[in-house]
Structure 1
Amino acid sequence: MAISFTGLGSGLAVSDIVDALVNAEQAPAEARLNTTEGKLTTDISAVGALKAALEKVQTSMEALGDNDNYQQRNTSGSDSFISISSDKEAQPGSYNVKVDALAQAHKLSSPAFAADEAIGAGVITIGSGANSFSTVLSATNTLEDLRDQINNGPFTGSDSNDSVIATIVTSDTGQHLVLTSKETGEDNAITITVQDGDGNNTDTGGLSRLAYDVSDADPANHTTNLTQVNAAQNAQITIDGTLTVSSNTNEFTNVIDGVDITAKKLHATDDDLSDISVTENNNNIKTGLNSFITSYNELLELSNNLGASGEGGAGVMAGDSLLRGVMSKLRSEITNPVDLGNGNSLSLSQLGVETDRYGVLTLNTETLDEQIDADVNLVQQFFVGDDDDGFAQSFDEKLSFYTDSDGIIQNRIDSKTNQLDDIDDQRVSLASKMESLSSRLYAQYNAMDLLVASLNNTSSYVQAQLENMPGVVRDNS
């Protein structure tokens, strides 16, 4: 139950009177602030939604302005024998491929040595591909010492080993030094020459036991003191049954314009050949336009709701010049043709973007496909331009006027937000003003109450004096 305090002298409900007077002063001011705050909040929300919808439309057009997205190539034909990839340089066509040989690294194995056997003093030089290095051995060095020096050095001069891996395999007959080239192919075959301490660099004694050199075209000059485990071998493929191509690796780069082929497995005699097909892919245009149409129609629906006026009620941006301006510019961009030079021009409508009487967009795919088939380069030029100055870039620049961080919409949001902050300040000021008014009213009513109390006391005193005067008849009934 509420407690109401009355003046001690006057008997008036002073607190109720003060509250009523303060509320009468405060209520209209608060109502004005609440109304203004509601309008500002609604406007910020509305233009924020408009900005988000515009940004979505803007983003949907970006992909159509990327030159790299046009005239892509679809390639098929990867199977267990080959894998393929392509770029825009690949021309539409079909080919069959047969894998004749896979690339192989050169591998050599030495004769057997005892674990503690000295292999001979001298200098051993190993080459593979463009890399060649030398290392010096003493009279006491073993096969394991040579392995370590090949893999880790030291090498003579500024040599380094970038091409050969050395390891030791121990068989029943002893230790064998196994050398394997790091790279495949005939160009990376291993050669080993020595400068033996006994002066004979090709015999089967001392360090010469590790010599292997078949680089001379004359077999009579070959030195093969090591056993060839795997020959250095190129990969080879045959295209369309007549064109033979070899490679140091299993990768065949740009053998067919814009197409890379990797050999994975040999074709046996009864295996079906691998069939490669290259087709042109311009799906990015249809995908991009569909994305644009979807985002634009969402924007249109939002715009209709925000700008509605009529019997169903008014939208929060009804009659707003910002809304009218941006939608007008968008409609103009969609319908206006772009001059592409040489008597050519294009517009979105010519690419199948159709508008109904309500402004809703749809895509006529037949019209689009006909335009792409007729001249895809012209379509690309329309969107991209000659120097990224096509329709997509122009469209982005026009929307950026509204959507940028310092654009017209954000400036409006910032302005309204500042006004909201000002309302908070006004509320603080109003509260302080009402507190002062309340204090002043209480002071006034308290002063009145003291005066009334004093008058009441005087009245009571006078009455008592009159009653005590001689001759005054008291009524004792």
Structure 2
Amino acid sequence: MAISFNGLGSGLAVSDIVDALVNVERTPFTSRLNNKEATLTTDISAAGALKSALEKLQTSMEALGEVDNYQKRSISGSDDFVTLSSDKDAQPGGYSVKVNNLATEHKLMSSAFAEDVAVGEGTLTIASGENSFDIDVSDTATLSEIRDAINDSKDNDSVTATIITDDNGQHLVLSAKNSGVENAIKITATDADGNNTDAAGLSALAYDTDLGVTNISEVIAATDASITIDGNLTVTSSDNEFANVIDGVTITAKKAHGTNDDDSTLKITENNNNIKAGLNSFIESYNELLELSNNLGKSGEDGAGVMAGDSMLRGVMSKLRQQLTSEVTLSDGSSLSLSKLGVEADRYGKLSLDTERLNEQVEADVDLVQEFFIGESEEGGFAQSFDELMSFYTDSDGIVQNRIDSKQTQLDGLDDERIAFARKMESLESRLYAQYNSMDLLVAQMNSTSSYIQAQLENMPGVVKKSD
């Protein structure tokens, strides 16, 4: 801030004069830029609000354009015995389910061995399901070393081995990782003594019921899960899941029914709630957009909105109204529109849903309602055409974003104008100070000359001085 001082020669308040002259230049420029900045900021904010509302409306229609959301099935009946799920292939109906038994994993246990005694030399081939692997056993290997070799085998993905120790010694326990008869464990021994089936040496660990070799004990038999549907259809599974035994239904057995337990009862019903939910979401989003549009574009005695008379706002709302009333021709030759599905507009354009009319259309032919929204085969329906319209405005290179980017560029340019003008004002201030300082020096010189002449005149002979 400049220090105010009076001219030494002229006595004028030079600093105040310069400040006043600079402000005469600065004030209208600053006022103009501030007004322009406020206008641009308001325009950007309004366009941003419009884009957000359009994006929300666009998103609300997306769910109605997803084929997987249509004609879903609801299934009931999950209890302590079964867990149920279904997809759209399931047909409405009811069934009874009885769990006869659950699937079990095969488990085998060897006879007792001393901790530090070698079992026998040779090769063990262990198989479960489609997995089979070999274990080479040295003539010094103990039971714990055989256990480690089984668990560490890179080819083993079907069994686990552990040791249980009791008063008689160590027992090798093999457990199948997967349940069911097809995953029963088989152990074949290639014994160094040449006898692969006796209970001596490595063959003491052999187990193959196909060959009648059971040198180790079966602790838990491998069994398939079994259920009975409607009292007379029995189905088995290697695990406890029964997929598509009933079309589109997955039954997971959790517990076997006892003699006195009632069978589980499952019921499949058609679920088309996505249509009503989707339309209600769309209507809500549209009404919010309509209210915003009315506020942005209003004009009258109460004042004008920030986008009053804006062609972009008028254009998007006009296109939307046309889209809402458009009809889609269907494969059976008929046509559908939102209004036929119960979407109504009052005299102010606000939408509402006639649920009764929508339900009538869904119950009459839900396939046609689905076709209206998602189209048939390659041709999209209403949802796709609506999305394309919205994208024209909401995309990153769409109409609204282009407006925002243009205004933002202008707003950024104001900073450059301010910097350039500040430099101009500094130059003007320096120039004015130089001019006024020069003038002040000249006045001081003139005053000095005047005083000198006056003194000389007063000292001339014959000049009478005034008496004090």
Q: CA deviation at 1:81?
A: 0.8
Matched residue, 2:281: 291
Matches within 5 A, 1:25-424: 25-137=25-137, 140-152=140-152, 160-196=155-191, 200-215=195-210, 222-386=212-376, 387=378, 389-424=380-415
Q: CA deviation at 1:355?
A: 0.7
- Change over 3 Å in CA distance of 1:325–1:231 after alignment to 2: same
Q: CA deviation at 1:144?
A: 3.8
Moved more, 191-200 or 172-181: 191-200
- Change over 3 Å in CA distance of 1:192–1:17 after alignment to 2: closer
Matched position secondary structure for 1:25: helix
Structure 1 distance, partners of 2:441, 2:324, is 81
Q: CA deviation at 1:169?
A: 2.4
Q: CA deviation at 1:240?
A: 0.9
Amino acid in the other structure paired with 2:76: S
Q: Deviations over 1:95-147 (max 9, x none)?
A: 11111111112222333333344544454443333333444555555444443
Matched position secondary structure for 2:223: coil
Q: Does 1:15 align with 2:15?
A: yes
Q: Deviations over 1:304-356 (max 9, x none)?
A: 11111000001111101011001111111111112224312111111111111
Amino acid in the other structure paired with 2:69: N
Q: Deviations over 1:172-211 (max 9, x none)?
A: 2333333322222122223334455565544444444444
User: For the Cα contact (< 8 Å) 1:234–1:246, is it kept in 2?
Assistant: yes
Amino acid in the other structure paired with 2:36: T
Matched position secondary structure for 1:473: coil
Amino acid in the other structure paired with 1:234: D
Q: Does 1:461 align with 2:452?
A: yes
Moved more, 444-453 or 269-278: 444-453
* Structure 1 gaps, min length 5: 155-159, 217-221
TM-score normalized with structure 2 length: 0.92
Matched position secondary structure for 1:280: strand
Q: CA deviation at 1:45?
A: 1.4
- Change over 3 Å in CA distance of 1:380–1:441 after alignment to 2: same
User: For the Cα contact (< 8 Å) 1:108–1:228, is it kept in 2?
Assistant: yes
Structure 2 distance, partners of 1:61, 1:372, is 18
* Structure 2 gaps, min length 5: none
User: For the Cα contact (< 8 Å) 1:191–1:215, is it kept in 2?
Assistant: no
User: For the Cα contact (< 8 Å) 1:186–1:232, is it kept in 2?
Assistant: yes
C-alpha RMSD of matched pairs (Å): 2.5
Structure 1 distance, partners of 2:70, 2:39, is 47
Structure 2 distance, partners of 1:308, 1:281, is 43
Q: CA deviation at 1:263?
A: 0.9
Q: CA deviation at 1:293?
A: 1.3
Structure 2 distance, partners of 1:26, 1:120, is 104
User: For the Cα contact (< 8 Å) 2:3–2:15, is it kept in 1?
Assistant: no
Moved more, 140-149 or 324-333: 140-149
Structure 2 distance, partners of 1:145, 1:431, is 87
- Change over 3 Å in CA distance of 1:191–1:22 after alignment to 2: closer
Structure 2 distance, partners of 1:201, 1:453, is 131
User: For the Cα contact (< 8 Å) 1:337–1:345, is it kept in 2?
Assistant: yes
Q: CA deviation at 1:274?
A: 1.0
Matched position secondary structure for 1:183: coil
Q: CA deviation at 1:454?
A: 3.0
Q: Deviations over 1:13-51 (max 9, x none)?
A: 232222222222222222222222222121111111111
Structure 2 distance, partners of 1:133, 1:5, is 103
Matched position secondary structure for 1:370: helix
Q: Does 1:442 align with 2:430?
A: no
User: For the Cα contact (< 8 Å) 1:109–1:177, is it kept in 2?
Assistant: yes
Q: Deviations over 1:237-260 (max 9, x none)?
A: 111111111111111121111111
Structure 1 distance, partners of 2:125, 2:19, is 107
Amino acid in the other structure paired with 2:103: A
